[in-house]
Structure 1
Amino acid sequence: MKIRRLSGLHAQPGRWTRIILALLPLLLLVALYAVASQIRLADNPHDKLMPGFGKMADAFWRLATEPDRRSGEILLWMDTLASLSRLGIGMALSAVLGLLIGLNTALFPTLRAALNPLLTVLSIIPPLTLLPILFIVFGVGEEAKVMLIFIGTVFVISRDIHLATRAIPHEQIIKALTLGATQLGVVYRVVLPQIMPRLINTTRLTLGAAWLFLIAAEAVASTDGLGYRIYLVRRYLAMDVIIPYVAWITLLGFTMDWLLRLTVRWVYPWHDRDA
Structure 2
Amino acid sequence: MKRFINLTPAPATRMMFGLLPFVLLVILYIVASDARLAENPSDKLLPGFSQIGDAIQRMAFEPSKRTGEYLFWGDTTSSLTRLGLGVLIAAFVGLVLGLLTGALPSVSAVASPLLTVVSLIPPLALLPVLFIVFGLGEVSKVALIAIGITPFIARDIQRRTLEIPREQLVKAQTLGANTSQIIFRVLLPQLMPRLIDAVRLSLGAGWLFLIAAEAIASTDGLGYRIFLVRRYMAMDVILPYVAWITVLAFLIDSVLAWVSRRLFPWQSKGVQ
The match for 1:198 is: 194
Structure 1 residue runs of 4 or more that deviate by more than 3 Å after TM superposition: none
1:9 shift after superposition: 2.2
Number of matched residues?
271
Q: What's the counterpart of residue 73 of structure 1?
A: 69
Q: Which runs of 5+ in 2 are unaligned?
A: none
| TM-score normalised by the chain length of structure 1 | 0.97
Alignment match, 2:226: 230
Whichever residue aligns with residue 75 of structure 2, its letter is D
Structure 1 counterpart of 2:214: 218
Equivalent AA in structure 2 for residue 15 of structure 1: P
Instruction: Give the alignment partner of residue 48 of structure 2, picking from 52, 70, 81.
Output: 52
Cα RMSD, aligned residues only: 1.3
Give the whole-Å Cα distance in 2 for the aligned partners of 1:163 and 1:245.
37
Percent of matched pairs sharing the same residue: 56
Between 52-61 and 235-244, the greater mean CA deviation after superposition? 52-61
Partner residue in 1 for 2:136: 140
CA distance in 2: counterparts of 1:11 and 1:82, whole angstroms? 46
1:151 aligns with 2:147: yes
CA deviations on 1:25-76 (whole Å, 9 max, x unpaired) are: 1111111111000000000011000000111011112211111011111001
Residue 182 (structure 1) shift: 1.6
Shift of 1:14: 1.4
Paired amino acid for 2:96: L
How far is 1:6 from its partner? 9.9
**Paired position in structure 1 for 2:117:** 121
Deviation at 1:7? 7.1
1:183 matched to 2:172? The reply is: no
Mapped partners of 1:150, 1:6: distance in 2: 49
* Structure 1 residue ranges without an equivalent (≥5): none
Which letter does structure 2 place at the counterpart of 1:97? V
2:187 and 2:54 map into 1 onto residues whose CA distance is 52
Q: Distance in 2 between matches of 1:151 and 1:61?
A: 37
Partner secondary structure for residue 266 of structure 1: helix
Q: Which residue number in structure 1 is paired with residue 88 of structure 2?
A: 92
Aligned twin of 1:131: 127
- After superposition, the C-alpha distances for 1:137-165 in whole angstroms (9 at most, x for unaligned) are 00000000000000110000000000011
Alignment partners' CA distance in 1, 2:50 and 2:211: 26
- Whole-angstrom distance in 1 between the partners of 2:198 and 2:97: 14
Kept in 2, the 8 Å contact 1:6–1:13? The answer is no
**Residues 188-237 of structure 1, C-alpha deviations (whole Å, 9 max, x = no match):** 11111111111101100110000000000000000000000000000011
- The one-character-per-residue Cα deviations of 1:92-113 (angstroms, maximum 9, x if unpaired) are 0000110010011001000000
Match of 2:4 among 5, 8, 11: 8
1:270 aligns with 2:259: no
CA contact (8 A) 1:94 1:154 kept: yes
Q: CA–CA distance in 2 between the matches of 1:244 and 1:31?
A: 17
Q: Matched residue of 1:181: which SS?
A: coil
TM-score, structure 2 length as denominator?
0.98
Kept after mapping to 2: 8 A contact 1:6/1:12 = no
Change (3 A) 1:107 1:235: same
Q: Residue 4 of structure 2 aligns to a residue in which SS?
A: coil
Shift of 1:11: 2.2
